[in-house]
Structure 1
């Protein structure tokens, strides 16, 4: 969903999403600031492609997604919804074969994914942030699952993701009212990890991303997978899985480098092997 400011024709633009790599950190910048970075379906294709590129690039160890122009994402451009054939199957396919491409690419990404949220993150825009592993927000960020206010249901994972962060009761409160929370409140209830002054958000996000990029990428990937997979396992199964992971990481060059660096009191240089 999107807010009223996005109700205008959606025009594909080669620069509507910018993907860059700087050192070990990839950045996905949503770049339609004139509509608070509301996304089109062509933008969705590029978003999923960027995530797949980051996953396949051995240089990349952390991915940051953010928005240009003081907003994160106001959801889907309303012009996209207006252009969908008014049949149930076409509307369903718009999600399953369109918008959900990003969610599937996120599920396949083994590297840490951080959302840097400034300004609005509304509806599907908030859902896209909730898909990330970590969320950092500016103090004045405005986050809302506002679907209900225009007679819709969360179409991009909000009913699945939000309860896992804030608990079912608080999630239902936000989903059933469409209420907006700022960055400070979002941190208090666990929707975001950290909140910063608006002008410090990106610097703080990249500083944290740099810390993660300095860790063993093999260990980071296994930790991430274990955390998510363990949510659907009992403890016995999770312990069995982590025993296998431990045996694998102890056979890597990165583990040998970590031990050597610890003994020599220096910063390790991990290669992902």
Structure 2
């Protein structure tokens, strides 16, 4: 029976003997995101709600898959403590083997609910899915989900998160991204089990990992919905988002001073630029738990919401951006603002002038003509999806690494 199953699965799998017997998805090249976007079909005006299925081939258990679920806007995933999530079937493809993965994506219209096929027992039944990718109304909601560990960060979650960002960056159906955590926690930092391993001599693996500011290179606005505990590497992920919504009961902490370590992953550069040197050092020295009202007062977050509505309000804000703002303009301004933090005024102005010339406004920028027409005709503008060859300001050197 096992032999028959393997033979049947192999009939549908590509023969790639050069790769180890693991998940057989194709590795993405390291070209810039703008060039990789050319492989994705450009969306039409008015982005529809899509469901994506990732296909995988047969092979022994490798790493976790990134499921795509249909979740109504404003509805949080299931609470931690009980794993009720669907597992990947043999028709789905995991995100891969530690490298960025490229996907064969099949689009299905979800206007009517599809009847799922009977599920066969799978070797992936015990394989965790740490990141969920949901698209609705041109907004991609990325959910960190580590049940029983309050969404603590680990290496598999990190790989799946980078893969989700790669996918959202080139997804023509996505115009804004919301990052949140499952249940009542956002991300309390590195998994304590991993920390215990470091104390025991295991060491931290930094070689081969992407920089934690990688999210700043994504050409779409990112909004964080901080629905619970946020500390350590979790606060880094929240702060590289552009706008932060925070639940009233949530707490934010740097935590480093309680562990005898310096501020990690560039937080010593980022915090002072967001809230000033004094507030930054106060948070770092004391490692105190910052409540929502104080976080709003010092500028650490943009909005404070009720616990039950924080995700819905963040998604509503993202939908407003997706429907009312030019994707080309938002992508350019995101690079300008974050990149100009490392430039002086003269350099920032020069980047703007050069970008305007390269954009060739108004002849080669359809959103400019649409925006002017909408203004004259006093109607809402209908902007196109971010083109694969969109002209954007250059990345600063620290983002190109």
Structure 1 residues 191-230: aligned runs within 5 Å: 191-214=300-323, 215-230=325-340
1:97 partner SS = coil
Matched-pair contact (CA < 8 Å) for 1:137–1:196: yes
1:166 corresponding residue in structure 2: 275
Matched-pair contact (CA < 8 Å) for 2:222–2:243: yes
Measured after TM superposition, the shift of residue 244 of structure 1 is 2.9
Measured after TM superposition, the shift of residue 102 of structure 1 is 6.1
1:111 corresponding residue in structure 2: 220
RMSD: 1.9
Asked if 1:261 corresponds to 2:371, the answer is no
Measured after TM superposition, the shift of residue 43 of structure 1 is 0.8
1:103 partner SS = coil
- Rounded to whole Å, the distance in 2 between the matches of 1:77 and 1:66 is 17
Measured after TM superposition, the shift of residue 67 of structure 1 is 0.3
Measured after TM superposition, the shift of residue 39 of structure 1 is 1.5
1:262 partner SS = helix
Structure 1 residues 22-171: aligned runs within 5 Å: 22-83=136-197, 86=201, 90-91=203-204, 94-98=205-209, 101=210, 103-171=212-280
Runs of 4+ off more than 4 Å: none
TM-score (structure 1 length as normaliser): 0.87
2:184 partner SS = coil
Matched-pair contact (CA < 8 Å) for 1:39–1:77: yes
TM-score (structure 2 length as normaliser): 0.60
1:9 corresponding residue in structure 2: none
Structure 1 residues 11-22: aligned runs within 5 Å: 13-22=127-136
- Rounded to whole Å, the distance in 2 between the matches of 1:51 and 1:57 is 10
Matched-pair contact (CA < 8 Å) for 2:211–2:265: no
Residues 79/17 of structure 1: CA separation in 2 closer, same or farther (3 Å cut)? same
- Rounded to whole Å, the distance in 2 between the matches of 1:13 and 1:106 is 26
- Rounded to whole Å, the distance in 1 between the matches of 2:353 and 2:327 is 18
- Rounded to whole Å, the distance in 1 between the matches of 2:169 and 2:339 is 19
Measured after TM superposition, the shift of residue 104 of structure 1 is 4.5
Asked if 1:233 corresponds to 2:353, the answer is no
Over residues 189-212 of structure 1, what are the superposed CA-to-partner deviations in whole Å (9 max), with x where a residue is unaligned? 011111112122112111110111
Measured after TM superposition, the shift of residue 131 of structure 1 is 1.5
- Rounded to whole Å, the distance in 1 between the matches of 2:251 and 2:208 is 29
- Rounded to whole Å, the distance in 1 between the matches of 2:213 and 2:233 is 15
